[in-house]
């Protein structure tokens, strides 16, 4: 049974049909406001917009109302895709062509001037963000939103023996890397650490602020590193995250 929520967007309140998953995401107002604002600004001069991992379509609706001439919402979950279709039907102006594609965004790239992809997660480990963005960059030449994903680290008192996610404000984190999402993104990463226990942070920046670290959007990942480097594969899952052996650091 879909829920109906009202969210604030750059063009005023929007009443959207959502499922529980999308409902929880939209409750992170900083996340949602930042992404909607980025999309609204990027499509203001027209062109085709695509949201990869569109959910129930909040960013697609904002694009349709902000000047995009064509909007493509790509969503792997058929029930969410159906709700995105209903939301677009309600809000897209008559002269805006829209299409909801129920598909895996890593498999069949779509041609758009601007793509947004909020398949973001901590260290880009678990979700399909990197594969989806890379396949679009290889095939077409879109502007990708968010333009950058920031990775940082801070010391914590004691990390548990196994990596653990927890909501934590990234504002005090030391920057390790700024991932440019408009160039092919390397799948492997390696981060040096100088503390025994750390929290890795992942965030996007908007309006001079770091957005991330909430329960639903890039929670921090605490890791007991023993001051050793940490490696992993973006899109490969948490199981690819390893603290490098002392013997292999030399
Ligand atoms: C974090 S939600 C973002 C929803 C919406 N874009 C927003 O910002 O509110 C990510 C969505 O991507 C979808 N998804 C995950 N992997 C996907 C893939 N490979 N292809 C297409 N959609 C995918 C999920 O089903 C989910 O609805």
From the CA of 164, how far away is ligand 1's center (Å)?
A: 23
Claim to verify: residue 93 and residue 157 sit in the same structural domain: no
Q: Is the CB of residue 217 less than 8 Å from the CB of residue 120?
A: yes
pLDDT of residue 247: 66
Q: What's the token pair of residue 176?
A: 């390790």
Q: What pLDDT is attached to residue 159?
A: 78
Domain-embedded: residue 215: yes
Task: Supply the residue whose CA is at minimum distance from atom 2 of ligand 1.
Answer: 55
How far apart CA 48 and CA 32 sit, in angstroms, is 21
pLDDT value for 73 = 98
Domain that holds residue 96: 3-118
Q: The CATH number of the domain where 27 resides is what?
A: 3.40.50.150
- Confirm whether 142 is domain-assigned: no
Instruction: Report the distance separating Cα 213 and Cα 205, nearest Å.
Output: 12
Residues 172, 208, 178, 48, CA torsion sign? positive
Looking at 118, 141, 175, the residue that finishes a domain is 118
Give domain status of residue 134, yes or no.
no
Backbone angles phi, psi at 197, to 5 degrees: -125, 130
DSSP 225: -
**224 is a domain residue:** yes
Whether 202 is in a domain gets the answer: yes
- Each of the 250 residues of the chain gets a pLDDT tens digit; together they read 899 999 999 999 999 999 999 999 999 999 999 999 999 999 999 999 999 999 999 999 999 999 999 999 999 999 999 999 999 999 999 999 999 999 999 998 999 999 999 999 999 999 999 999 999 999 999 999 999 999 999 999 987 889 999 999 999 999 999 999 999 999 999 999 999 999 999 999 999 999 999 999 999 999 999 999 999 999 999 999 999 987 665 4
Q: Say whether both 222 and 180 belong to one domain.
A: yes
Nearest atom (ligand 1) to Cα of 25 = 9
Report how far apart the first and last C-alpha atoms of the chain are (Å, whole number): 56
> Into how many domains does the chain fold?
2
Shared domain check, 97 and 12: yes
CA of 232 to the centre of ligand 1 (A): 22
Residue 128 falls inside a structural domain: no
The pLDDT assigned to 119 comes to 98
Burial of 6 (0-12, 13-18, 19+ CB in 10 A): exposed
Place of tokens 């492997």: 188
Compute, in angstroms, the gap from residue 90 CA to the centroid of ligand 1.
Answer: 21
**119, 130, 218, best to mutate for ligand 1 pocket (most atoms within 8 Å of CB):** 119
Q: Distance from the CA of 57 to the center of ligand 1, in angstroms?
A: 10
Looking at residue 248, what is its pLDDT? 61
Which of 74, 100, 118 delimits the end of a domain?
A: 118
Q: Which atom from ligand 1 is nearest to the alpha carbon of 104?
A: 20
Q: Within a domain: residue 106?
A: yes
Phi, psi of 153 (to 5 degrees): -145, 150
**CA 8 to CA 23: how far, in whole Å?**
13
């Amino acid at each position: 049974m879909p829920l109906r929520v009202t969210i604030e967007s750059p063009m005023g309140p929007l009443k959207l049909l959502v499922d529980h998953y999308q409902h929880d995401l939209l409750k992170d107002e900083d996340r949602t406001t930042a992404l909607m604002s980025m999309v609204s600004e990027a499509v203001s001069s027209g062109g085709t917009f695509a949201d990869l991992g569109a959910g129930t379509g909040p960013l697609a609706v904002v694009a349709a109302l902000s000047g995009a001439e064509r909007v493509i919402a790509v969503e792997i979950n058929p029930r969410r895709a159906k709700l995105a279709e209903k939301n677009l039907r309600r809000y897209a102006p008559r002269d805006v062509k829209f299409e909801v594609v129920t598909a895996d965004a890593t498999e069949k790239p779509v041609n758009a001037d601007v793509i947004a992809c909020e398949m973001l997660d901590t260290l880009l480990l678990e979700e399909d963000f990197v594969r989806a963005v890379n396949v679009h960059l290889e095939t077409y030449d879109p502007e990708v939103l968010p333009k950058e994903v920031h990775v940082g680290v801070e010391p914590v008192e004691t990390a548990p023996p196994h990596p653990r996610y927890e909501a934590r404000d990234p504002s005090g984190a030391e920057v390790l890397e700024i991932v440019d999402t408009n160039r092919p993104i390397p799948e492997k990463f390696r981060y040096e650490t100088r503390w025994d226990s750390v929290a890795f942070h992942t965030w996007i920046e908007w309006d001079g602020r770091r957005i991330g670290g909430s329960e639903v959007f890039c929670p921090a990942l605490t890791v007991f590193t023993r001051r050793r480097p940490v490696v992993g594969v973006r899109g490969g899952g948490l199981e690819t995250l390893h603290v490098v052996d002392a013997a292999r650091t030399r």
